[in-house]
A and B are shown apart, each in its own frame.
Chain A
Amino acid sequence: EAQVTQNPRYLITVTGKKLTVTCSQNMNHEYMSWYRQDPGLGLRQIYYSMNVEVTDKGDVPEGYKVSRKEKRNFPLILESPSPNQTSLYFCASSLRGTGSYEQYFGPGTRLTVT
């Protein structure tokens, strides 16, 4: 089954404790991205990757890191989480990064930073 998976689905952590949210897709997509969803703000892109070893900032990259060492994986790293990073996070992928290609989303990771 074609899908994007994320782990963990739920995470409660404390300020400053490094964490990683994993994302994997099995569709051989070139483009992958991370979003955060906050009430009243919709979806905002954090980082994206056009292909292996190619990453770039989205609209709200501060406090986040990513890497793309393999085509299928695109982990999101919070090196020193803060309470304002409490949010619902989605990973997404699409065949290409440009133009008319729709995105496929993972199920989401609900992060709470206390």
Chain B
Amino acid sequence: AQSVAQPEDQVNVAEGNPLTVKCTYSVSGNPYLFWYVQYPNRGLQFLLKYITGDNLVKGSYGFEAEFNKSQTSFHLKKPSALVSDSALYFCAVREDPGGSYIPTFGRGTSLIVHP
């Protein structure tokens, strides 16, 4: 069975500082990992994904994520936060091989970037 956890309901960071939004996962096989962002009154937008290969994945809007197999983590990062990055962030996992057709989403982390 697959599962994903986002241990922080909310992350606060000052504009210009680096940000990290945490995600840990559990799968029996290999994971496909995703980050999505939800701005107020909008649907989720895909940010980036890890399939295989380089552990550092780069995505949209300057975000990146680091896959750590030993710690079963896939934390989202950005070197310098913007106020416009304030949104709800979701981590999701799918299992490979023979993975579920149903991706599992975390509960979401609210990122607040203060001016």
Interfacial residues, chain A to chain B (CB-CB below 8 A)? 4, 31, 35, 40-45, 48, 50, 56, 58-59, 90, 92, 97-100, 102-108
Q: Closest CB of chain B to A57's CB: distance in Å?
A: 9
Interfacial residues, chain B to chain A (CB-CB below 8 A)? 32, 34, 36, 41-46, 49, 51, 90, 94, 96, 99, 101-103, 105-108
Query: Given A43-B90, A100-B51, A105 and B105 touching (CB < 8 A)?
Result: no
Q: Closest CB of chain A to B100's CB: distance in Å?
A: 9
From A48, A50, A56, A99, contact of B99 by CB (8 A): A99
List 23 A–B pairs whose Cβ atoms lie within 8 Å, in order of A's numbering.
A31-B101, A40-B107, A42-B108, A43-B44, A44-B105, A45-B102, A58-B102, A59-B102, A92-B43, A92-B44, A97-B101, A98-B99, A99-B32, A99-B96, A100-B32, A100-B49, A102-B46, A102-B49, A103-B36, A105-B44, A107-B41, A108-B42, A108-B43
Q: Which residues of A have CB within 8 Å of B107?
A: 40-42
